[in-house]
């Protein structure tokens, strides 16, 4: 499934798997979130059924032994595409990355984080850059954005998963970008509810949406309210500490993490604060540290490539950020074990599969 287009309906037999829920989590890493997943297995348990269909979001689960009538009755309508949409179904998650001030490297981190998921992890990932006037995400990837994002935001009634996919541009593998490049004199006429419609459409198509969201660009408040996870990027300076404290004073909504993930970028810049000094000033721990590697980052930006190549402190920082923003270890219902090293776990905020309508 890493190399093939996901079908609209996928039937999976997990019989004989020592960690069946972990196996389904691994499958979710490589399929589109709107696939209708039907599961067959050897465990006959109500708790296991609710784990598969409730927590993991598969459309249905049948335990063996199977009969023709049983399969036709439970799977028939779903395979034919006649099943009603499930209430509360969820697709991919939205992570917003905000620099506490300009020039802290938030765009570079957002692009490389999305590149890790889309290229290294083979997850269907899109970079959303809502700053249509001054956004740099597409430039860092050597992509010339089109007018699709502005058009969808001005006419949200036309937004659907197909339109969102056409507006997004392919970068490489399963990494797309949705951005704009409007003239500074161009007035943006976003319609009410545009952010909700756009994110809803993207979540049906992508496992992960990484939004490079500067403070107070249009749609900032709307996207902030929709985000599953927030990331604040700061520098090891007093001015950055002050700005970070102001952002931390903004309370998250109920289903977000208790506080944003704090990324201390470019640690080791000559004349800057140490990590300990930053944490003492914040009275909080920094979650992720990315060392200052200006040559590597600048060279990648010049070439329009991802910077997290080879073994480097920058790459290690991106991998650590990836572990924080998107995944937790999946405790398998039968084994109680986390995924093996190198494997990913379950999406911690919503179902792994989105039920197919």
Task: Domain ranges for the chain, please list them.
Answer: 9-31+35-88+329-347, 93-145+168-181+204-325
- Tens-digit pLDDT profile for residues 140-195: 999 999 898 998 899 877 777 666 768 899 999 899 999 999 999 999 999 898 99
Token pair of 313, please? 């402190």
Query: Is-contact 327 294, C-beta < 8 A?
Result: no
Res. 250 pLDDT band, cuts 50 70 90: confident
pTM to 2 decimals? 0.73
Query: Residue with structure tokens 């496992």?
Result: 207
DSSP class of residue 132 equals: T
> CA nearest 97: which of 123, 144, 124, 135?
135
Helices marked H in the chain: 20-28, 46-50, 68-80, 106-115, 137-140, 148-154, 161-167, 194-205, 220-226, 238-248, 275-282, 294-303, 313-325
b/e per residue, 29-60, with b = 16+ CB within 10 A? bbbbbbbbbbbbbebeeeebbebbbeebbbbb
Report the distance separating Cα 199 and Cα 30, nearest Å: 20
Query: Residue with structure tokens 């060392």?
Result: 291
Query: Residue with structure tokens 């050897």?
Result: 42
Look at 19-33, 74-88, 107-121 and tell me which has the smallest mean pLDDT: 74-88
- Tens-digit pLDDT profile for residues 185-203: 999 999 898 999 999 889 8
- Tens-digit pLDDT profile for residues 328-356: 333 343 333 333 333 333 333 334 555 54
Look at 1-5, 58-62, 90-94, 116-120 and tell me which has the smallest mean pLDDT: 90-94
Report the distance separating Cα 58 and Cα 163, nearest Å: 26
> Quick check: helix, strand or coil at residue 141?
coil
Query: Is-contact 9 79, C-beta < 8 A?
Result: yes
Query: Residue with structure tokens 């993991």?
Result: 56
Token pair of 148, please? 């699709």
Q: Which fold has domain 93-145+168-181+204-325?
A: Rossmann fold (3.40.50)
Token pair of 205, please? 């198509």
Pairing of strands 36-41, 169-172: unpaired
């Amino acid at each position: 499934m890493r190399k093939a287009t996901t079908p609209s309906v996928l039937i999976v037999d997990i019989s004989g798997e020592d960690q069946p829920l972990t196996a389904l989590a691994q499958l979710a890493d490589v399929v589109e979130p709107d696939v209708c997943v039907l599961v067959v297995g050897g465990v006959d348990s109500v708790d296991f059924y609710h784990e598969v269909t409730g927590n993991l979001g598969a459309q249905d689960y049948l335990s063996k032994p199977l009969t023709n009538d049983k399969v036709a009755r439970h799977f028939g309508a779903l395979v034919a595409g006649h099943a009603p949409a499930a209430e509360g179904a969820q697709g991919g998650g939205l992570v917003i990355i905000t620099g506490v001030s300009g020039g802290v490297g938030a765009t570079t981190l957002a692009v490389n984080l999305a590149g890790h998921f889309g290229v290294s992890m083979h997850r269907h990932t899109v970079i959303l850059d809502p700053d249509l006037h001054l956004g740099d995400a597409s430039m860092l990837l050597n992509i010339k954005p089109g007018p699709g994002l502005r058009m969808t935001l001005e006419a949200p009634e036309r937004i659907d998963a197909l339109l969102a996919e056409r507006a997004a541009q392919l970068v490489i593998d399963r990494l797309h970008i949705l951005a704009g490049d409007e003239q500074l004199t161009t007035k943006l006429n976003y319609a009410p509810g545009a952010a909700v419609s756009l994110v809803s459409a993207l979540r049906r198509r992508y496992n992960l949406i990484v939004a490079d969201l500067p403070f107070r660009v249009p749609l900032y408040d709307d996207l902030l309210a929709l985000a599953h996870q927030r990331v604040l990027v700061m520098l090891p300076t007093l001015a950055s500490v002050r700005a970070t404290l102001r952002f931390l004073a903004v309370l998250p909504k109920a289903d977000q993490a208790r506080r944003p993930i704090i990324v201390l970028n470019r640690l080791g810049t000559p004349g800057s604060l140490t990590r300990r000094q930053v944490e003492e000033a914040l009275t909080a721990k920094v979650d992720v540290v990315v060392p200052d590697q200006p040559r590597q980052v600048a060279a990648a930006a010049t070439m329009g490539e991802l910077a997290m190549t080879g073994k480097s402190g920058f790459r290690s920082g991106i991998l650590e950020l990836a572990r924080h923003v998107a995944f937790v270890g999946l405790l398998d219902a039968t084994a109680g074990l986390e995924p093996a090293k190198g494997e990913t776990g379950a999406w911690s905020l919503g179902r792994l599969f989105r039920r197919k309508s």
